[in-house]
Structure 1
Amino acid sequence: MSDTVLKASDSETAYAKINLALHVRGRLDNGYHDIETIFAFLDKGDLVSVAPGDGLKLDIDGPFSDGLSETENLILQAARRLAEVSGVDKGAYLHLDKQLPIASGIGGGSADAAATLRLLNRFWGLDLALDTLAEIAKPLGADVPACVISQTCSGTGIGHDLTTIADQDLRECTALLINPMIPVSTADIFNSWDGVDHGPLSNDSVLVAAKKGRNDLQPQAVALVPILSDVLQLLGECEPVIARMSGSGATCFALFDTPGVTHDAERHCRRAMDNSWTMIGKFR
């Protein structure tokens, strides 16, 4: 990709996802879980770019590119599915700038696949609606449809049943993400869920519902990765609006009222835990 000049319109951000709350309500026979969650998305993430090419090809670089396959990747799966469903017989040379940690509970590969669908929809001139792309995305993974929409929404079922929700109170906050640089297996965390239904999300405004809610996978993740308790304690010392683990971990987040307080919290956390990744973002 280094010898190809890409226009700004040829790129798409794979926005970082946060589960403000994640209630696991039961196990399903197909191996998935019945959940209730609040998805929210920051204004930063990985970057997927495209240029004309023969067939579908992918190359990857960026600070978290190590270990990622350029031949068996969810980005290529998304591209192939969109081509098949839409009847497109065109190529694309895709490039991923991997800025988010791998296996970190903030969208990652799902957001990359979603960004690929949005990008190729534009690049191939398909003009499909986001809802249509989200439907196409369902076989790619539980979080991919929400990542296609990349707006604050509730997710039920396995996460595919989406309803956008008002989020003005959320947009007034700034988010800090912190990851202790330990990848966590989503399957392992879900498999260790205690099987207890602790009840539904409330019907309050998004921020109130998040604060009243919980992440039912957090206790299991802390048990498997004890350093997460230190991360959450550090965030709690900064007096956030809310602090919690996202998804199946290991990324944790905290919301603050002002950017200044958020940057102070980031410095506090990095001083105490120098081998960590942090990112500050606003909500989309």
Structure 2
Amino acid sequence: MVTAPAKINLTLDVLGKREDGYHEVKMVMTTIDLSDRLTLMKARDGGIYVASSAGAIPTDERNLAHQAALLLKREFQVKEGVRIYIEKNIPVAAGLAGGSSDAAAALKGLNQLWNLGLNFEQLAQVGARLGSDVPFVLYGGTSLATGRGEVLTPLPSPPPSWVVLAKPPIGVSTSEVYGKLRLDQIKERPDHERMLRALAEKDFSGVVASMGNVLETVTFTLYPEVKKLKERMIRFGGEGVLMSGSGPTIYTLVRHESRAFRVYNALRGFCKEVYMVRLTGRREIGVA
């Protein structure tokens, strides 16, 4: 069994459009203790088969774990197949990199199952071809991500805190949000230098004060209920409240468990998908 952790953005800034069609980004991401679990078994007929506990995700070639298996199979001339079962705990289409994390977990699991002997750097190079978030969730921990999100600089983990997440019952199109972003209309950008200092000093207040996501204004305009959810979370006592990725998940960092429980219980009256977890902050290195 391989775990596939979710991520949240502590910061997200978009710097410009690249020639390859992607956006140049600068963001700080960290993994949290909310994970899918993948079970992998060899398939002697050479096929790739994906099943999931969630009916909301595709299990064919559109599934990123399926794509990861196919890419490794072709790249390294693997004759064996695989059966992948995904126990889905991360909300779907939530801005938490659930699909990317499943792909990263599949890469790690297949590396062992098929005895490929690849290290994390080699797996990350393969993962970058599947999605911009795949290299980050492959390593986990906390990183500054640049380029299109695949260039990673490891950072100290945030100070210990609880994370309360709430996902409204809608899906958000990442491509639509990025497509409607107007770079010349961004009025406030995250303070990355302050965030890096706060992480280095384990300064919870500094981390909270440095959080920011330039995609919020776009998603809030397209989906006003996401903005209302953020306002509600602040009202219920969230200390640092932000949208993760392109949304629609809103999360808060909370220093004390008792306060986190109050926020969690208050949100459950308004939102079906609410989670209370911890930051993980561990980064994996070496041979996968």
TM-score between the two structures when normalised by the length of structure 1? 0.88
- Match 2:181 to one of 188, 193, 200: 193
One of 34, 42, 55 as aligned partner of 2:46: 55
* 1:52/1:65 CA distance change after superposition, 3 Å: same
Distance in 1, Cα, partners of 2:158 & 2:264: 24
Helix, strand or coil at the partner of 2:245: coil
Contact 2:69 2:106 in 1 (8 A): yes
Task: Give the CA deviation at 1:67.
Answer: 4.8
Quote the Cα distance in structure 1 between the aligned partners of 2:227 and 2:158: 30
Q: Which among 241, 247, 271 is matched to residue 249 of structure 1?
A: 247
Give 5+ residue unaligned stretches, structure 2: 281-288
What residue is the counterpart of 1:8 in the other structure? Answer: none
Name the amino acid aligned to 2:26: E
Identity percentage of aligned residues: 27
- Count the aligned residue pairs: 269
Q: Which residue of 2 aligns with 1:36?
A: 26
2:16 maps to a residue whose letter is: G
Give the distance between the partners of 1:211 and 1:124, measured in 2 at CA: 46
Shift of 1:210: 5.8
* Alpha-carbon separation, structure 1, partners of 2:153 and 2:33: 20
> Can you list the C-alpha shifts for 1:151-210, whole angstroms capped at 9, x where unaligned?
1111001001001101152xx101111000100000000111121365562242335356
CA distance in 1, matches of 2:259, 2:183: 38
1:178 aligns with 166
Alignment RMSD (CA, Å): 1.8
Is residue 259 of structure 2 the alignment partner of residue 277 of structure 1? no
Are the counterparts in 1 of residues 57 and 63 from structure 2 also a CA contact under 8 Å? no
SS in 2 for 1:136: helix
Residue by residue over 1:86-145, the C-alpha shift from the partner in whole angstroms, topping out at 9 and shown as x without a partner, is 343322111112222221100021111011011111222223222221111111011111
**Partner AA of 1:238 in structure 2:** F
1:97 aligns with 2:71: no
Question: Helix, strand or coil for the counterpart of 1:23?
Answer: strand
Inter-partner Cα distance in structure 2 for 1:137 and 1:211: 32
1:63-88 residue CA offsets vs partner (Å, 9 max, x unmatched)? x4235233432111111212233343
Hey, what does 1:128 align to over in structure 2?
Answer: 118
Contact 1:13 / 1:47 at 8 angstroms: preserved in 2?
A: yes
Q: Is residue 13 of structure 1 aligned with residue 3 of structure 2? A: yes
Contact kept in structure 1, 2:141 and 2:157, CA below 8 Å? no
Distance in 1, matches of 2:209 and 2:49, equals 40
Does 2:197 match 1:204? yes
Secondary structure in 2 matching 1:231: helix
Is 2:133 the partner of 1:143? yes
